[in-house]
Amino acid sequence: MARPRTRRRERRSVPQGRAYIYSTFNNTLVSLTDPQGNVIATASAGTVGFKGSRKGTAFAAQRAAEQ
């Protein structure tokens, strides 16, 4: 059986952008956008590898921002 084709990510260089941070008691979401508002990258405490109540910690938010 053939493997499904996955789309390759393009590496784009964006000179300016915006970082949107949505923080709750349970998780932190970070989105990076270009000036038009198109999302370039996104990360959260859950995608970094934290589960459960550890997603709500300041350390998990810091790791999500670094990624």
Query: Hey, CA dihedral for 48, 24, 19, 62, is it positive or negative?
Result: negative
Is residue 9 included in any domain, yes or no?
no
**Within a domain: 25:** yes
**Is residue 29, in this structure, part of any structural domain at all?**
yes
Q: How many domains is the chain built from?
A: 1
Q: What is the pLDDT, as a whole number, of residue 52?
A: 94
Does residue 44 or residue 6 have the better pLDDT?
Answer: 44
Can you tell me the mean pLDDT for 2-7? 75
Tokens of 47: 């995608």
pLDDT band (50, 70, 90) for residue 1: low
pLDDT for 17-35, tens place per residue? 999 999 999 999 999 999 9
> Which structural domain range is residue 23 located in?
18-66
Give the strand order in the sheet containing 39-44.
18-23, 28-33, 39-44
pLDDT of residue 10: 75
**Average pLDDT of 38-66?**
93
